[in-house]
Amino acid sequence: MAIINQASKELQVKIVYYGPAMGGKTTNLVQVHDHVQTAAGNKGKLVSLATSSDRTLFFDFLPIEAMAIKGFKTKFQLYTVPGQVIYNTTRQLVLRGVDGIVFVADSQYEKMAENVESFANLEENLRTLRLNLADIPYVLQYNKRDLPNVAPVEYLEFLLNNRELQVPAFSASAHKCDGVFEALNMITRMLLHKFISQGTPQYA
């Protein structure tokens, strides 16, 4: 849950990038880190707890400040989870206190089963934290659209966004920074509107 510090006029929110292994979650954070326009000092270091082969071991973490609410310093904390199936406990830890989720799906045909499994795993892990995906703002990002063997967007929509209430979905090629800021801005917009219309973030 977000934290609002009335004493220092700060709002802190946590956005988690979730999805199957090697889908481009870390690439999203790297691109945001490399390309975001911020005032000096408002972008933190990208911290990556990765193995020697660049697979995320625990999480990646990128703190950024942005002017989202007038009069409040808004601090966004972007996290990724490790996508590999064996690191499920770690994914549960990172999801604690989540405010918004970007689900990064791999568009390649052969990754469809992994996408569906990862999405089901997200719902299950939220349930262990007594959270319901329907109550948390999330967006879908169909990554790797520049590869030749990708499934049509309609098929991904059928697999991952086939619900009563469809969520925004973005085609992306994260390594070219296409679709990265679109997804981030949309999830930001959704969660800020949630706070304003109905939410009761925690004070600090």
CB atoms within 10 A of CB 79: 22
**Closer CB to other proteins, residue 98 or residue 105?**
98
In the numeric block, which tokens belong to residue 188? 């930001």
Phi, psi at 108, each rounded to 5° = -70, 140
CB 91 within 8 A of CB 125: yes
Q: Interaction with other proteins in 137-166: which residues (CB under 8 A)?
A: none
Block residue for tokens 């509107």? 193
**Closer CB to other proteins, residue 151 or residue 169?**
169
Name, in order, each residue with C-beta under 8 angstroms of 93's C-beta and a sequence gap of 6 or more: none
If binding is defined by CB under 8 A, does position 71 make contact with other proteins? yes
**Closer CB to other proteins, residue 133 or residue 192?**
192
If binding is defined by CB under 8 A, does position 97 make contact with other proteins? yes
What's the CA gap between 97 and 94, in Å, rounded?
Answer: 8
In the numeric block, which tokens belong to residue 41? 């000092």
Q: How many residues belong to the site for other proteins (CB under 8 A)?
A: 58
If binding is defined by CB under 8 A, does position 94 make contact with other proteins? yes
Block residue for tokens 């390309």? 35
What residue ranges bind other proteins (CB under 8 A)? 1, 3-8, 12, 14, 32, 35-37, 44-45, 47, 58-59, 61, 63-64, 66-72, 74-75, 77, 79, 89-90, 93-94, 96-98, 129-131, 177, 181, 184-185, 188-189, 192-193, 195-196, 199-204
